[in-house]
Structure formats: structure tokens, C-alpha cells
Structure 1
């Protein structure tokens, strides 16, 4: 049977229609602040929606069935189409006139990476800044639905493990009741965003800054309205603690939030991934804090040097950076690469951890690390007891060999892509530290990297080909590798 191309094009049209609607929201914000970009953003919205309506109109007689092949194509090309149309507000307004730069900024937004090519963020019109933050929020909202409702059905990267925990259906096809799952999770996502906006406003941010940073936090994106990122508020600890809390929530499985709001607290306490996710953050924070606090020659912030003797300041900065990197949010309160060589390597390692499965975080994910470690330890037992059947267990349930192999394959592919990504960036002229940092950060959707791409710098210095390459790595990482890579294989396109 061939591909149902009409349903693919129809869904693409729907995505463009949604994207254009969000652009109108950005145009509305632009109009409120009278920043001069209102007509440009509105025009971008109209063009985007026009293409969307045309695509939906010409495919209105489609068969309403999405199978696995169509699912892979919709997910991958959906993100690409969104990113391509999302460049229009930047290009039409002249905020980022270069197509390469505009696409990099946009795909960095939708993949919630947060890497930027902008040198002066604060010079942008309010409507463009809001659109920039919205790309994060749209991408984060989309990835929740992917992770909870769609990827398990496609058998992607071991995502089947928590599929049974999701408040929705699991089956061989994309079920209409997936919309029920999406509605519940979007409501939580939206609720968290509103709650953080209110709290940040009460803590001293302007309403505009609070909205933008909430959109970026819940999506684990990292775009800020300030050149100094969250370091702009280094003298207002409450703002940073609120951001830490919501970064932590965004990096945890959103299904657990659903359980919390429905009174199933025991399900959260028994969840292995959440337990280790929390333990890792505590241990990593204490490690970094001790190094920072005991080294009196370390400046915790390049913007507001901390007063030594104030343990709270050292603790806050280390906690913030650990949570920002682990959850792949990428907000910055300090340049951790300037602390000590040990901490530079330490934070580089954290880029490979990732948050929880079913969260908006990028990276490998805590769940996969746990299962790889468990399987590795069980190999010792299997070596001694060759005839024994010793399965991997997760959340007191047996994990099938298929899922274990899937996760091992994911990990091997991830590390291979990191190496290839580093080699390409090195070939394009980046030094060793910048190349490995840029590759790890792009693939993990982290944002800040090492070397010339450090937390207080940006990606503007990359050659054009390097920007496109990093954008590709961002897409790979955001869509769990297999989703994109399988489309690049010849047998995917063979008729079955």
C-alpha cells in the first residue's frame, strides 16, 4: 500500500493554520506595545494561514487514517514546515533578514534548544521577542503530545515504557482519543505557564518579561528577553528560585503532574525515573556548590560578582545552572565555563543526561540511563548464571528485551551522532572544545555550550553551513533520533 499523501498534506495545512494563529497573537502583542512590527507580523500570519487553508482545501477528501509511515513523515516534516513558516515574522520585520540566521533562530525555538544568533536581543521589537518565545512554547506543547501520545505508538526510543501510564489510549494506530490525552496535558502545560507568569510578576518582573520567560521555562527552551538572560535578575533571588522550580517541573514527566492533580500522589513517589531525576539534581548541585564555594577565586557571575561568604548566592547559582542544563532549558545566571576546568567538564557531562521521558526536556533522558545501567549490572549475573532468565525491571515491571535493545540502539546512535556532529563542526573550522560543545548542546537541545559557544556568547560566529548542521542536530535530538533517521533510509520509501 502507498502513502496516504492527502492526509499528510492536510495535517501540514492544519499546522500552518495553527502557526499563523499564533503569529496573530504575536501581532496583537506588537500592537499593544506599538513597536512598529505589527503589520509585518500580521502579514507573516496571513501568508502562513493562506498556505495552510489552501493545503487543507485541496486535500479535504482525504482518508482519515494515519498509519506508521504517515506518522513518521507528519512528525518530521511537521517540525520542518513549522520552522520554515516561523521564519516569516523575522524576515518580514527585518529583525533577522538573513534566511540562514532566521531559520536557525526559528528551529532553535521550536526544538526548544534556545541557541541564538542574536547579538542584541533587547533591541528587537516586543512582538518579535514574544514570537521568539512562542516558538518555544509551541514546540514544547507539541513534544508533550509526541512523547505521550504518538511516539509510543510508533515504537520510538523505548517510549512504550510509560505509554501505559499516560492518561490516554495505546494501540497500533493513532487513535482519536489521543485528543483527550492532548487536552489534559495541554491544560497542565498552560496552567503551569500562567502560574509562573503570575509568580514572576509578583516577584518583580514586568508582565512582558514574566510572560516570555514562562513560555521559555515550561518548554525548557531558554530564550530570554535580556542579553544577560536570567543573570539580569541576579540581585533578585526570588525570580531565579521561581524559575528553578518551574524548570524542574518542566523537566519531569507531565503524566506525573496529571497524577498529582488527580490525587494519585503515590504513583509519583513510586516512579523510579522521578526519584532518580530528583536525586541526580541534588547530588550534582551539592558537588558543584562545594567546588564553587570552596574556590574563592571563582566568580560565580560575570554580571554581578558574588560576595564571598554568602553561601546562598553560591548555592543559588550552582542549583540554577545544574537544573538549567539537566532539564536542557539553557537559561544563564553565570558562565559556568569560567569557574574551574573540573566544572566545565562536569557541566559538559550533564548535557548528556536530559530530563524525564514525557517532559519538554531534551537529551538522552534519565529513564534510558537507568535502564542501560540496570541492564549492564545484570550482565554480571547473566555471566555467572548462563541459563538463568534475569529480566530488567522498571517501576516493578519487567521490561521486554525489545525495549532494552531499542534503548541501547538509541544510546549508541546518540553517541555516534554526537561524534559525527563534532567532526563536522571541527571540519567547518571550530576548535575542539567549541565543536564538541556545540554538537552536544545542539543534539541535546541544551542551548549554551563550550568554547566560543559558551553561556555568555552565542552561535552567530558559526559559518552558515554550521548553522544548518546544528539545526539538523537540534531536530534529530528533539524528535528522538529514529523519527528523522528512519525517513532517510531507502527501505522506508519502499511500497509494502
Structure 2
């Protein structure tokens, strides 16, 4: 274990977080809020500790998969511990575990909240909550890779540990340039979302918060009513933005380099859009009687489908009051998730497609035992390592999900609450059903349940393995 490189990189994470805290500090200055002292104090402590950790460069800069997984997990934990401090110190979220829950929900782009009335929060805190979605959407380590020269291809271990999806590749030969390209695309799409919302007359502060949330596919809102008070145009812009940010960013890179045929040949993207279309049609037919026109039924069905499948968690209506059929479809979309290589969470469309192809191959083998078939995905043959990793992921996913529901059920809420609370947080969505539905929050859960859900949010965002590596004794052995 190369501990020196881990400490060095954690120092850079604290340095970056100190700079990122200038955003809420600026908001506090503009709106003349007293919470500025809390944000400035945390920024200074972050900067000081970051300086101490980075003043001496490590002699050995090489690291491998184990160090990459540990670094990413520890990085997100450190980011969250310092990120929640302003909430707690200012007294806006007086309990530390609640403050930690809130910021982990932000950085993991989950959007679950313990705040009963968000309008009571300062503008600085509202902007920090939403900005945490944007930071976590693409990943803080990916950002550091884009600005910090590191040791060659060893960077790939960090990128694979932090980027969502079953496989992560390089857009260009150098990881640093790949990371820069990803963030440039991410930034440009965020700005475009802001522009279209401003054209629709959305207030500037709301525009910033909603754009950060849509880009990072998080679910924090700056209003208690969520997105219900916004106009149909503004909701439509958010619907389209959420869908676009749920697409694999490799597609946008291919479009930038003028290879549209390769971009639209993406098997996962076609599956993702087909699922969205099918879900919108089915839900529209099921909820048509709840709305005065077919247009409104389609509009709100599209908004909720795009919100849930991309694991954003925005709500234009209280979908917990929809018929059971529609709620069941949304629950399935919680598990489906967006595309690999996007800012969305969930299992990912690619994994589900691979799993179905593997099941189809096994069924064919039962019928024709002597036949030899290979599984192809995106035009490439899936090798044994990919399928082994897929099966291990699904088994661990099912195990963690089951144990989490069991622990949360100790709070003695109804099954829909316990099950959907874990589904919403493990898949980084935000609102669940029943007691934790879109018109409520997670404040009534016990501290144990909140700790379980904090773990689930981190594990879900980091694709299980980086977090689980921390609990393996072999990880911490020297050599």
C-alpha cells in the first residue's frame, strides 16, 4: 500500500474543497448572511490541512488498483466530513449525523434530505447543497486528474474506481486529457441548461440550483414544493436536461469529433431511450384520468420517468399518489438507472443488457448443449473477466440491498417505506414512496437507518467495490 500517494491526493482533495467553498461564501456575501463565518472557517481548515499534506511530494508516485479504490473511497469520505461542517456549525442542521446525511446525499447526487423546510435555509447553504451535486456528478477525483499531472497510466485506477459503469475507457490516449474533455463537456452542458432555464424566466438563484441538480442528476431543490411551482416550459427543459445527462458522455465526445454514426450506434443509449419511451407511454395511459388533458399526462409522465431513471429525484407532482401500476414502473426504473459513463446512478442500463444477454446464452445452452455461443455487446465480445465482474456486482448488490432493508425495517415503518428508502438511496435517487415520498423527507428515520443509508449512498455512487475494499484486512497490509 502506497500510503504517501494516498495522503498526498487526499491533501489535494482538501485543497480543492477549500476552493469550492468559495461558491457558498460568495452567495453569503451577496445575500449578507451570517453563515459566512462558518463556511470561511471550514475553508481555512481544509486549506491548511491540504497544504500540510501536499507540501511534500511522494517519492514513489506509482499506485495500483488497490490504492486507487482506497483513495477514491477515502476521498469521498473526507470530502463529506468537511462538506457537512458548515451545516452543523451554523446550526441550520443542528445534528451532526443529519448534516453528514445531507452532504453525502449531495455529493453522491442522491438528493434525499432531512430538512423539513428548505426555504428556512440560508442561500449559501442552498447553493452548497446543489453545488455538491455538480461536484459529485462527474467526480472530484476526475477533476483533480484533469488539473494535476500524475504518474502515467496509473491514473486509470482512479478513474475506473470513481466513474460509474461496468467498464471505463479512455477517450484519448492520455487520462489527463480524457478527464479534461469530460469536464469540458459537463461544464458546457450545464451552462446550456442554465441558458434555457433563464430564457424561460426562471429566477437566477433557482436556475443555478436546478441546473447543478439536473447536471449532476441529484435531487435537491431550493423550494419545499420541489419543481411543482415551475412553468411547464421550465419543467420540460429540466426533463430534457436530465435525459441528456443520463447518456454516456462518450456519445457526446463522438459527436464532437464528428463521428455521429458511431455515436448513434451506441447499443446502451438505444436501450436507455427505448426504456424511457416505453415507461412514459405506460404511465401516461395509467395516469391519464388524473390530469385535465393528455398533454399534461404525457408532460408529467416524461418528467418523472426522466427524473427517476437518471436517478435525479426531482418531482413535478406527488407521484406517490399515482396508481400502483405507475409507482411500480417508477420503482423498476430506480433499479435500472442511467447509462454507464453518465452522471446517473442505479445498476446501469449496460449491466442489465449484459445480464439479459448472458441469461439468453445460458438458456440456449440448455436447449443446445453442444452449441458454442459468445456474448456480444457494442459490437465486441464480452470476455470472462467482464462477465465475472458483472455477476459479482449483482450478487453484492442484492446482498447489501437485502441487509440494508432488514436494518432499516427496525424503525418499524411499512414495507413500502423501508424498501423504497433503501432503493432510493442505494441507487442515488432521492425520494422514495410512502413515508419517504416526494412530499416528505428522511428526518423521521433513526440514526441507525441514516448511517445505513449513508453507507448505501456512498456504495451506490462508487459502484460497491471501492467502499467494500476498505473493510478487507488485506487492503491495509504493507507490500
Give the structure 2 partner of residue 302 of structure 1: none
Post-superposition Cα deviations, 1:271-329, rounded to whole Å, max 9, x if no partner, equal 10000000000000000000001xx3x3xxxxxxx5x1x21111111110011000000
> Which of 166, 184, 187 does residue 187 from structure 1 map onto?
184
Give the structure 2 partner of residue 39 of structure 1: 37
Give the structure 2 partner of residue 383 of structure 1: 366
Q: Which sections of structure 1, spanning at least 5 residues, go unmatched?
A: 170-176, 299-305
**What CA distance in whole angstroms lies between the structure 2 residues aligned with 1:241 and 1:343?**
20
Secondary structure of the residue aligned to 1:231 is: coil
> Which of 215, 220, 235 does residue 218 from structure 1 map onto?
215
**What CA distance in whole angstroms lies between the structure 2 residues aligned with 1:200 and 1:158?**
30
Q: CA deviation at 1:150?
A: 4.1
Matches within 5 A, 1:120-159: 120-142=117-139, 145=142, 149-150=156-157, 159=166
Q: CA deviation at 1:439?
A: 0.9
> Which of 294, 306, 312 does residue 323 from structure 1 map onto?
306
Give the structure 1 partner of residue 328 of structure 2: 345
In the superposition, relative to structure 1, how do residues 158 and 214 fare at CA in structure 2: closer, same or farther (>3 Å)? closer
Give the structure 1 partner of residue 76 of structure 2: 79
Q: CA deviation at 1:33?
A: 1.9
Q: CA deviation at 1:36?
A: 2.8
Post-superposition Cα deviations, 1:164-214, rounded to whole Å, max 9, x if no partner, equal xx3134xxxxxxx32111110101111111111111111011111101111
Give the structure 2 partner of residue 96 of structure 1: 93
Give the structure 1 partner of residue 261 of structure 2: 266
**What CA distance in whole angstroms lies between the structure 1 residues aligned with 2:109 and 2:247?**
15
Q: CA deviation at 1:388?
A: 3.0
Is contact 1:35–1:125 with CA below 8 Å preserved after alignment? yes
Structure showing greater relative contact order (alpha-carbon pairs closer than 8 Å, 6 or more residues apart) = 2
**What CA distance in whole angstroms lies between the structure 2 residues aligned with 1:391 and 1:48?**
51
**What CA distance in whole angstroms lies between the structure 2 residues aligned with 1:475 and 1:104?**
11
Secondary structure of the residue aligned to 2:60 is: coil
Residue 255 (structure 1) aligned with residue 262 (structure 2):
no
In the superposition, relative to structure 1, how do residues 260 and 335 fare at CA in structure 2: closer, same or farther (>3 Å)? same
**What CA distance in whole angstroms lies between the structure 1 residues aligned with 2:330 and 2:388?**
28
Q: CA deviation at 1:41?
A: 1.5
**What CA distance in whole angstroms lies between the structure 1 residues aligned with 2:334 and 2:447?**
24
**What CA distance in whole angstroms lies between the structure 2 residues aligned with 1:143 and 1:312?**
40
**What CA distance in whole angstroms lies between the structure 2 residues aligned with 1:168 and 1:124?**
43
Q: CA deviation at 1:335?
A: 1.5
**What CA distance in whole angstroms lies between the structure 1 residues aligned with 2:384 and 2:162?**
13
Matches within 5 A, 1:237-252: 237-252=232-247
How many equivalent residue pairs? 469
Is contact 2:106–2:133 with CA below 8 Å preserved after alignment? yes
